[in-house]
């Protein structure tokens, strides 16, 4: 079974308590919401059906033996840009050398140099693709080139220079 923990609890951040899911072998994947700040000792102890874990970006600490004997765990996605603190025993008996750790691209080096994260067999970057502007509006108004986009979060780049604009004698530039 797939388990997704809520992003928050009554609008607040929360922790996963000690032994919260201990011995539950029916969970195959878990997504830990972005408002979880800590994963308690033995939280997923002996969850041997677990194959994938996504740790939200607000987790700052992981308790002792949190993922102990999760022998089928293959992929851990840790979205935190500050490497969560944990003891070396957090993944004991879980074949960490066979696991793939997926982390934000901008902090991959921090994970590669911090124990026990650096013990993962393969550490790869999560590359977040920025949304592309669906229909950019480009106008020349009051001496300024204005580029607008209604796509939320979209970034756009241009190589248009002032000399390019001077080539045109109209207010519209067609690309």
pLDDT (mean) for 38-44: 97
- Tens of pLDDT, residue by residue over 4-23, are 998 888 889 999 999 999 99
pLDDT (mean) for 99-123: 97
| Higher pLDDT pick, 120 / 171 | 120
Q: Picking from 81-90, 146-155, 158-167, which range would have the lowest pLDDT averaged per residue?
A: 158-167
Average pLDDT, the chain: 88
| Residue 71 in this model has a pLDDT that exceeds 90 | yes
List Cα–Cα distances, 124 to 6, 20, 64, 85, 173, in angstroms. Answer: 26, 29, 24, 19, 42
pLDDT (mean) for 43-52: 97
| Residue 29 in this model has a pLDDT that exceeds 70 | yes
- The whole-number pLDDT of residue 170 equals 52
Alpha carbon 171 to chain centroid distance? 43
Contacts of 163 (CB under 8 A, 6+ apart): none
- Contact indicator for 22, 44 with CB cutoff of 8 Å: yes
- Tens of pLDDT, residue by residue over 114-140, are 999 999 999 999 987 777 777 778 777
- The whole-number pLDDT of residue 90 equals 97
Band (pLDDT 50/70/90 cuts) for residue 27 is very high
- pTM value is 0.75
- The whole-number pLDDT of residue 156 equals 63
The dihedral over CA atoms of 73, 50, 83, 124, expressed in degrees to the nearest 10, equals: 40
């Amino acid at each position: 079974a797939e388990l997704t923990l809520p992003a928050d609890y009554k609008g607040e951040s929360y922790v996963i308590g000690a032994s919260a899911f201990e011995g539950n072998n029916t969970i195959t994947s878990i997504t830990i919401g972005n408002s979880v700040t800590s994963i308690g000792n033995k939280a997923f102890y002996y969850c041997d059906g677990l194959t994938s874990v996504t740790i939200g970006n607000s987790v700052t600490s992981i308790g002792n033996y949190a993922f102990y004997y999760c022998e089928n765990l293959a992929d851990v996605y840790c979205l935190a840009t500050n490497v969560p603190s944990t003891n070396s025993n957090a993944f004991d008996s879980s074949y960490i050398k066979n696991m793939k750790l997926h982390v934000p691209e901008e902090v991959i080096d921090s994970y590669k140099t911090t124990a026990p994260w650096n013990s993962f067999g393969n550490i790869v970057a999560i590359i977040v693709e920025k949304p592309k502007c669906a229909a950019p509006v480009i106008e020349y108004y009051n001496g300024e080139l204005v580029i607008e986009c209604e796509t939320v979060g979209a970034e756009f780049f241009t190589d248009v220079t002032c000399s390019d604009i001077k080539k045109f004698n109209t207010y519209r530039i067609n690309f």
